[in-house]
C-alpha cells in the first residue's frame, strides 16, 4: 500500500499573504491583459488561475512541490499588466514574487531557473565578475566565432538549449560604461540639479551607448550627474526569480552607495531597475537599520522620463521627420504608472508623429531572463507584438527598458524586419544632436 507524500506548505518567511490572495474576486478582467493567457489560453496560465493555485497551497490543499504549481507559477512573466486591469487592486506582483521566494527557500527551482539563479547570485552581485563575463561574450561575438557557430548550426544539433541561449544573448557594447569607467558628468551651462545615476548590470555592458546618451541629455538639462563608485546591480532579476535575500543585500549596498540625501534625484533609465528601486521600502520593511533609509532612498528615485518631465526639460528644436512607436515597458506602465511622460517627450520633438500599436501595453515577452528560461512562450508573445508593429508601417521603436529593446531587436532580426529599436535617451539625444 503506497503512502502519499506529505504536502509541503509555505514557510513563515516571505509567504504570500492570505489577505492579499483573498482580494482576488475571480472576475476575469485580467485574462485578456495576461500575455501567457493570450497565447496559451489556459486558466492556470492566467493571473486568476495562478492565484487559485497559490491559495490551494496556502490552504494546505496542494503541495508546494506540485509540478503543476511550479510549472504555471514560473510561466508567469511578472509583467503586472493584471494589476493595471484589476478593479480590486490585487497586488499580484507581490503574490507571485512571494511564491518564487518560497520555491527558492525550499530548493524547488526548475532546472533552467537554477542555472540562472547561480549566475545571478555569483556573477551579478560582483561587478568585476560581470564585466569579465561581458568581455568574454564580446570577444565571442566580435571575433567571428559566434557567426561561425550560428552558420554551422552545430549547437542546434548538439545542444538545442544552448543554441536558443546563444540566439537570445544580448550583443555586448564596443565599450562598457560602469561606475568604474566614469564618475561624473558636469551640467552644460548653469547647474540646476545634482543627481545620481544608476548604471545597473545589463545596460552597462550591452546598452552602454544608451547610458552615454542619458548622461548627455541630463547634462543639457542642467544636471550635474554623479555615478556612485560602489553601486551594485539593483536586484530586480533576483526579486523576480525568488532570490530575495540576495536582493536585500544588494539593496542595502546601493542605499549605502547612493547617500540619497546628497542628491535631488536618483535617475534610472531602465524600467525594471526603477521599479525594484522604488520597492526597496517594501523589500527592507522589517530591517531595523535600513527600513527608514530605504524609504528615504525610494523618495528620490525617478525614471529617466519621469524626471525630465518633472523638470520640464526642453526638447530638441531640430525637426525629425519620422513615425515613431513608443513601446510601453511593463515595469514602467504597470509597476510605476509611467506612460504619458515618455510620449510627451517624444511628441515635443518637431516633425515626429507618434504612432500607437494595437494593445500597446501588452508585454513584448522579454521579462528579464524569461526569454532565456522560457524561450518558446516568450517568442510567441513577441510575435503578437511584432505583428502589431508591422501593421503600423512605422520603422522606429523607442522604449525605456533594456529587455524590451534587446528582445525587439532579436525579433526584428529573426523576421528580417528593417526596424530601428532604440532607447528613449538615444532618440532624445539624436534630436538634440541634429540641431
Res 3: pLDDT: 42
Torsion angle of alpha carbons 305, 309, 313, 314, nearest 10°?
Answer: 100
Amino acid 166: pLDDT = 80
Q: Report the alpha-carbon distance of residue 405 to residue 423 in Å, rounded.
A: 7
Q: What is the DSSP letter of 4?
A: P
- The cell numbers describing 52, all together, are 487559485
* Amino acid 116: pLDDT: 85
Stretches in the chain below the pLDDT threshold 70: 1-6, 316-318, 433-435
pLDDT of 363: 94
Whole-number pLDDT of residue 163: 79
pLDDT value at residue 9: 85
**What pTM was computed for the model?**
0.91
What is the model's pLDDT at position 5?
56
What SS3 class is residue 398? strand
Which domains, from first to last, does the chain contain? Answer: 18-108 (1.10.1060.10), 112-168 (no CATH), 184-309 (1.20.1050), 315-433 (3.40.50.10700)
Q: What grid cell was written down for 94? A: 507581490
Q: What is the pLDDT of residue 156?
A: 80
Q: What is residue 212's predicted lDDT score, i.e. its pLDDT? A: 97
Distance CA 333, CA 336 (A): 6
Percentage with pLDDT > 90 across the chain: 75
Q: What is the pLDDT of residue 153?
A: 85
3-state DSSP assignment of residue 32: helix
- pLDDT tens digit sequence for 55-84: 999 999 999 999 999 999 999 999 999 999
Q: Three-state DSSP class for 336? A: coil
According to the model, what pLDDT value does residue 433 have? 65
Amino acid at each position: 500500500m503506497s503512502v502519499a507524500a506529505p504536502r509541503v506548505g509555505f514557510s513563515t518567511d516571505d509567504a504570500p499573504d492570505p489577505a492579499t490572495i483573498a482580494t482576488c474576486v475571480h472576475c476575469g478582467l485580467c485574462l485578456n491583459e495576461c500575455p501567457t493567457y493570450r497565447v496559451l489560453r489556459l486558466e492556470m496560465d492566467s493571473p486568476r488561475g495562478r492565484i487559485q493555485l497559490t491559495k490551494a497551497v496556502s490552504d494546505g490543499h496542494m503541495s508546494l512541490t506540485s509540478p503543476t504549481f511550479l510549472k504555471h507559477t514560473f510561466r508567469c512573466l511578472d509583467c503586472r499588466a493584471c494589476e493595471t486591469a484589476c478593479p480590486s487592486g490585487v497586488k499580484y506582483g507581490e503574490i507571485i514574487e512571494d511564491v518564487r521566494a518560497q520555491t527558492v527557500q525550499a530548493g524547488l527551482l526548475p532546472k533552467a531557473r537554477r542555472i540562472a539563479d547561480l549566475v545571478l547570485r555569483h556573477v551579478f552581485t560582483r561587478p568585476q565578475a560581470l564585466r569579465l563575463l561581458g568581455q568574454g561574450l564580446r570577444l565571442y561575438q566580435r571575433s567571428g566565432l559566434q557567426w561561425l557557430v550560428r552558420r554551422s548550426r552545430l549547437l542546434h544539433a548538439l545542444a538545442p538549449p544552448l543554441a536558443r541561449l546563444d540566439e537570445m544573448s544580448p550583443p555586448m557594447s564596443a565599450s562598457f560604461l560602469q561606475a568604474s569607467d566614469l564618475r561624473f558628468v558636469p551640467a552644460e551651462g548653469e547647474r540646476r540639479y545634482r543627481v545620481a545615476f544608476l548604471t545597473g548590470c545589463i545596460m552597462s555592458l550591452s546598452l552602454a551607448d544608451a547610458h552615454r546618451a542619458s548622461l548627455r541629455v541630463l547634462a543639457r538639462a542642467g544636471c550635474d550627474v554623479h555615478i556612485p563608485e560602489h553601486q551594485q546591480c539593483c536586484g530586480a532579476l533576483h526579486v523576480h526569480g525568488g532570490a530575495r535575500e540576495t536582493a536585500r543585500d544588494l539593496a542595502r549596498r546601493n542605499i549605502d552607495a547612493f547617500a540619497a540625501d546628497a542628491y535631488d534625484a536618483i535617475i534610472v533609465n531602465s524600467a525594471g531597475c526603477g521599479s525594484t528601486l522604488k520597492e526597496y521600502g517594501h523589500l527592507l520593511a522589517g530591517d531595523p537599520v535600513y527600513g527608514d533609509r530605504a524609504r528615504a532612498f525610494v523618495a528620490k528615485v525617478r525614471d529617466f522620463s519621469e524626471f525630465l518631465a518633472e523638470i520640464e526639460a526642453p526638447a530638441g528644436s531640430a525637426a525629425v521627420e519620422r513615425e515613431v512607436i513608443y513601446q510601453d515597458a511593463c515595469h514602467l506602465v504597470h509597476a510605476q504608472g509611467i506612460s504619458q511622460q515618455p510620449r510627451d517627450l517624444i511628441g515635443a520633438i518637431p516633425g515626429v508623429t507618434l504612432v500607437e500599436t494595437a494593445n500597446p501595453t501588452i508585454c513584448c515577452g522579454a521579462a528579464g531572463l524569461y526569454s532565456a528560461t522560457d524561450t518558446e512562450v516568450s517568442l510567441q508573445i513577441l510575435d503578437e507584438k511584432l505583428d502589431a508593429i508591422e501593421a503600423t508601417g512605422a520603422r522606429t521603436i523607442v522604449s525605456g527598458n533594456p529587455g524590451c529593446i534587446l528582445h525587439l531587436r532579436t525579433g526584428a532580426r529573426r523576421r528580417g524586419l528593417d526596424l530601428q529599436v532604440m532607447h528613449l535617451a538615444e532618440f532624445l539625444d539624436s534630436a538634440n544632436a541634429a540641431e
